[in-house]
Each structure stands twice: as C-alpha cells, then as structure tokens.
Amino acid sequence: MTAFYLGSAVFLLANVAIALLRVLRGPTAADRMLSGELMGTTAVALLLLLYGATGVEALLDVALVFALLAAMAVITFVRRTWPEDPAADSEKEDP
Amino acid sequence: MDVTRATENVGMRRPLAALPALSARLIGLAAIWWVLTDGSADAWTWGIPAVIAAAALRPGLRSAGAWRWSLPGLLRFLPVFVWYSTRGALEVAILALHPRRRPDPILIGYPLQLPPGPARIFLANLINLVPGTLSTRITARSVEIHVLAATPSLMRILATLERRVADLFALDLESGPAEVRRP
Amino acid sequence: MTDAIALFLILLGLLFFFSGTVGLLRFPDAFTRLHALSKADTLALGLVCAGLALQADDGLLRAKLLLIWLLVLISGATCSSLIARAALAHGIRPWQR
C-alpha cells in the first residue's frame, strides 16, 4: 500500500504543477485565486496520502492547518487585495 | 408555525433561553477539541479554557443571530446532499473530460422563500455543490446563480434543496411554485 | 478486502482531482472553472478521506479525517461564492457560447 500512496501523492503533485499553468495564464485575478483554492485542496489530499504512506499522524494536523490557510487566503484576497470597489481597482482584466 | 419568531428571541433578550444553545456549542466544541488532540488527556489543560471561551464569545459568529436545526431534518437532508453533490461532481467531471462537450453557461435569479439569515447563506453555499450551479450573489429576495447548462430539472433540484434546508433549520416555507426570473 | 475498497476509493478520488484540473485548464472563464473546482475537488478529497478512514485502526483518526473533509467542504463552498461575487463586482462577465 505504501508504494500506492506515494504514487498517488506524486500524481497529485503533477496535478498541482499543471494547475500552475492557470496561474501563469490568468487572465483575471479570479482565475489565479481559484487555482490557489485548487492547490489548497490538493495539498490537503497530498498530505493525507503521505500520512497513509508513512503513518506519521502529525501530517493530519498539517493538513488541517493547510485547509484553514487556504480558506484564509481566499478571504484575504477577496476582502483586501481585490475589494469590491471599482475605483480601487487598478488592474484591468481581459474581457 | 411560530418557530421562526421564537428563534429570533433566543439569546437576545432572555439569557436563560440561550442555555440549551450554549451547552450544545460547548459539547460540539469539546468534541472537536477531543478529535483534534487525538483524545490526549494533557491537552485538556488548554482545551477547557479554549472551549469555554469559544462557546461564550462565538468569534465572528455573533452577527449571524440565533438559529436552530432539527435532527430529523438533518437525517432527511443528508441523503439528498450526498446524492446531489456526487451527481454534481460526476457531471462536471464528464463535462471537463469529454473531448467535444462544452459548457453553455447562463446567469439566472432564483427567488428565495427562505427568510434572511443563516438558512439562506447555508443554501447559497449548498448550491455550489449541486449539479451545474454556483451562487454568486444574494439579494433581498433572490439568489443569483451561475448555471453551467440550463437543464429542465434545474428548478426542481433548487426547489427540493430549498425545502430540505427549510426542514433542516425547522422553518416553515410559504408553499407555491418557484419561477425562473432572468436578470 | 478493505484494502481493495480503499484502493478503489482513492483511485476514484484521483480521477476526480484530475478532472478538476482538466476543467481548470479547459473551461472558458473563471465562473465555469469555479464549477469544476467546487464540485470535483470536494468530492475527490472526500473519497481520499474515505479511503484512508477505511484503513485507519482508530475511531478518533476517522473522526479527524471527517473533520478535515468537512472543513474543506465548507470553506471550499464559501470561497467559490466569494470569488464569483468578487469577479462579478469587478465587471467580469460570464462567458457565453
């Protein structure tokens, strides 16, 4: 089972790498942020699989913190860096 | 039913009436702490003050007001939720992996019958997990939904979901068929 | 037997993660991509959690896995709506065929 868990973790890592393409391409800030959300979820799954492979229970706590941080990142982004005030919006988006 | 009015008063004017809600929060938070610390006995030194503080202060949740939910409502809600979210994931996965199919999205307004408050927000969050729908904005009377493809079953799904949420929050809905309104 | 079921659940989860990533790349705008994320990835993580919970030998660990999934479920659903609302407020119009 250990090899299977590690293989799955590598697969998820590749998934995250592909998702980075979306961050690069954008085109809007929303697209970049939602890739961030995907990475948060994938990172949680990755850590869980690493727990399955190694049996280190602390990894579960790391996964929990990751889940929390991913949510915080999105909320901070929406409230602070991309507030819903058109006047404060300097970044122009593609149509 | 008077349930709606009763819930608005709980915890606001009569401190004693808030006791069941407070003890429910205490038990829930203590259970979470127990799970988080893997049942370690030492951790309760920090756990007891943390649980009491969180239950009493409700950080960030005070503005949500008081609400209640019903256990039978939850039991009726869960299968619907599991079925819809599985279907939602399957549909979007097929749409993503299919070589030729493309989404045909549209924004619609769904008139809400749920009263403002936690139940509405809960429904808006739920809509994100249901096949082909993504809630974008809640206005005074309706919720704006981004739909992947306008299917005939969409309105039925949304109405079912709203009824289940009302059931879960022990609310009584005015019955009457919902209509689609395009903004 | 439990191993086989766990294996199957996790593989299914990986498939959903993969379809979420494909959707993220293929779908035409931020809103449709949010659909792919909020649905596929949430279920995918649920399947991985279920697979691991089957192999866990202790009820508390299972509860912890469930807690992690619930946290991601709730935050994922809320964050999707937040991003969608912010995108609309910034004048990003949904893509139409």
User: What pLDDT, on a 0 to 100 scale, did the predictor assign at position B96?
Assistant: 86
Closest CA to B181 of B105, B103, B130, B112: B112
User: Which residue in the set A1, A44, A57 is minimally distant from C3, CB to CB?
Assistant: A1
* CA gap C59, C64 in Å, rounded: 9
pLDDT of C89 reads: 82
In angstroms, the CA C10 to CA C30 distance is: 28
Nearest of B178, B73, B177, B56 to residue B122 by alpha carbon? B73
Chain-chain contact of C87 with A28 (C-beta, under 8 angstroms): yes
Token reading at C41 = 């990835």
Chain C interface, best mutation among A1, A4, A6, A8, by max C CB count within 10 A: A8
Say what the pLDDT of residue A94 is.
39
Distance CA B14, CA A76 (A): 36
Q: How far is it, in rounded angstroms, from Cα B152 to Cα B132? A: 12
Q: How far apart are the first and last CA of chain B?
A: 33
pLDDT of residue B56: 81
- 8 Å CB contact between A2 and A53: yes
- Write down the pLDDT at residue B67: 66
A15-41 tens-digit pLDDT:
999 888 888 887 888 888 888 888 889
Chosen for mutation from A4, A41, A92 (greatest number of chain C CBs closer than 10 Å) is: A41
Q: Calculate the dihedral angle through the C-alpha atoms of B151, B152, B154, B156, rounding to the nearest 10 degrees.
A: -170
Q: Do B125 and C96 touch (CB under 8 A)?
A: no
Pull the structure tokens for residue B165: 């949420």
Q: Nearest Cβ partner of C83 from A1, A12, A34?
A: A34
- Of all helices (H) and strands (E), which one includes residue B134? strand B133-138
**Are the beta carbons of B103 and C32 closer than 8 angstroms?**
yes
Q: Say what the ipTM of the complex is.
A: 0.87
Q: Please name the helix (run of DSSP H) or strand (run of DSSP E) that holds residue B120, with its range, or none.
A: helix B118-127
Tell me which residues of chain B have a C-beta less than 8 Å from any C-beta of chain A. Answer: 36, 38
- One-letter amino acid at B162 equals E
Q: What's the pTM?
A: 0.82
Chain C residue numbers with beta carbons less than 8 Å from the beta carbon of B96 are 19-20, 22-23, 26-27, 36, 40
Nearest chain A residue to C72 by CA: give it.
A67
Neighbours of chain C (3+ CB pairs under 8 A): A, B
What pLDDT sits at residue A47? 93
Identify the pLDDT of residue B14.
54
* Phi then psi dihedrals of residue B129, to 5 deg: -100, -5
pLDDT digits (tens, 9 = 90+) for C8-23: 999 999 999 999 898 8
Determine whether the interchain pair B148/C32 forms a contact, defined as Cβ–Cβ distance below 8 Å: yes
Name residues of chain B where pLDDT drops below 50: 1-12, 176-183
Per-residue pLDDT, averaged over A48-66, amounts to 90
Q: State whether residue B44 is helix, strand or coil.
A: helix
Q: What is the pLDDT of residue A95?
A: 38
Cβ C72–A67 below 8 Å, yes or no? yes
Per-residue exposure over B7-18, b if at least 16 CB sit within 10 Å of its own CB, e if not: beebbeeeeeeb
B58 CB-near residues (< 8 Å, 6+ apart): B25
* Cα dist from A89 to A84, B25, C30, whole Å: 8, 41, 18
Which DSSP helix (H) or strand (E) runs through B161?
helix B154-168
Tell me the shortest Cα–Cα distance from B165 to chain A, in angstroms: 24
Number of residues that this document lists for chain B: 183
Strand arrangement, sheet containing B106-111:
B106-111, B142-147, B133-138
Per-residue pLDDT tens over the stretch B6-17:
444 444 455 566
Q: What is the pLDDT of residue C50?
A: 92
Q: How many CB atoms lie within 10 A of CB B29?
A: 17
Cβ proximity of C28 and B102 under 8 Å: yes
Residue C45: what pLDDT? Answer: 92
Chains that touch B (3 or more CB pairs under 8 A): A, C
Q: Which segments in chain C show pLDDT lower than 70? A: none
Q: Which residues contact B121 (CB under 8 A, 6 or more apart)?
A: B138
A64 to B38: CB separation less than 8 angstroms, yes or no:
no
Distance CA C56, CA B32 (A): 18
3-state SS assignment for residue B70:
coil
Q: Do C68 and A63 touch (CB under 8 A)?
A: yes
